[in-house]
Amino acid sequence: MGLAGGLMIGMAGAVYLLGAGRIMGASGIIGGLVDGSGRDTAADRLWFLGGLIATPAVLMVVFGLTPSTNASSAPAVLVLAGLLVGIGTRLANGCTSGHGVCGLSRLSPRGIISTALYISAGMAAMAILRHIWGVI
Amino acid sequence: MLRSMISLLSGGLFGTGLMLSGMTDTTKVQGWLDVLGAWDPTLAFVLGGALLPMAIAWRLTRDRSPLAGGHFPAPAASTPDKALIVGSMIFGVGWALAGLCPGPALASLSFGGWQGALFFAAMISGMWMAPRLRLVLDRGPAKA
Tell me the pLDDT tens digit for each residue of B86-138: 999 999 999 999 999 999 999 999 999 999 999 999 999 999 999 999 998 88
Say if residue B78's pLDDT is above 60: yes
What Å distances lie between residue B138 and A113, B39, B79, B82, CA to CA? 19, 37, 15, 8
pLDDT higher than 50, residue A115: yes
Q: Is the pLDDT of residue A60 over 70?
A: yes
Complex ipTM value = 0.97
pLDDT at residue B24, rounded to an integer? 98
> Percent of chain A, pLDDT > 90?
98
CA distance A102 to chain B (A): 7
**What pLDDT digit, counting tens, does each position of A1-34 carry?**
899 999 999 999 999 999 999 999 999 999 999 9
Identify which of A104, A83, A76, A70 has the alpha carbon closest to the alpha carbon of residue B30. Answer: A70
How many Å is the maximal CA-CA distance in chain A? 47
User: What's the Cα-to-Cα distance from B46 to each of A60, A131, B60, B121, B135, rounded to whole Å?
Assistant: 21, 26, 22, 26, 35
Which is more confident, B74 or B120? B120
Per-residue confidence (pLDDT) for residue B143, from 0 to 100: 53
Measured between beta carbons, which residues in chain B are less than 8 angstroms from residue A77? 97-98
Nearest to A57 by CA among B39, B142, B112, B49: B112
**CB-based contact, B68 to chain A, within 8 Å:** yes
Q: Cα separation of B86 and A6, whole Å?
A: 27
The per-residue pLDDT for B93 is 98
What integer pLDDT is reported at residue A19 of this predicted model?
A: 97
Which one of A22, A54, A91 has the shortest CB-CB distance to B83? Answer: A91
Kindly indicate the confidence band of residue B141, based on its pLDDT and cuts at 50, 70 and 90. Answer: low
Cα–Cα distances in angstroms (integers) from residue A109 to residues A83, A113, B83, in the given order: 26, 6, 15
Residue A70 banded pLDDT, cuts 50, 70, 90: very high
Residue B144, pLDDT above cutoff 50: no
Show Cβ contacts of residue B54 under 8 Å, excluding neighbours closer than 6 positions: A10, A13, A14, A17, A101, A102, A105, A106
pLDDT in tens, A116-127: 999 999 999 999
Query: Are A119 and B33 a contacting pair at CB < 8 A?
Result: yes
Task: Say yes or no for a CB contact (<8 Å) between A123 and B122.
Answer: no
**Per-residue model confidence as pLDDT tens digits over B17-68:** 999 999 999 999 999 999 999 999 999 999 999 999 999 999 999 989 999 9
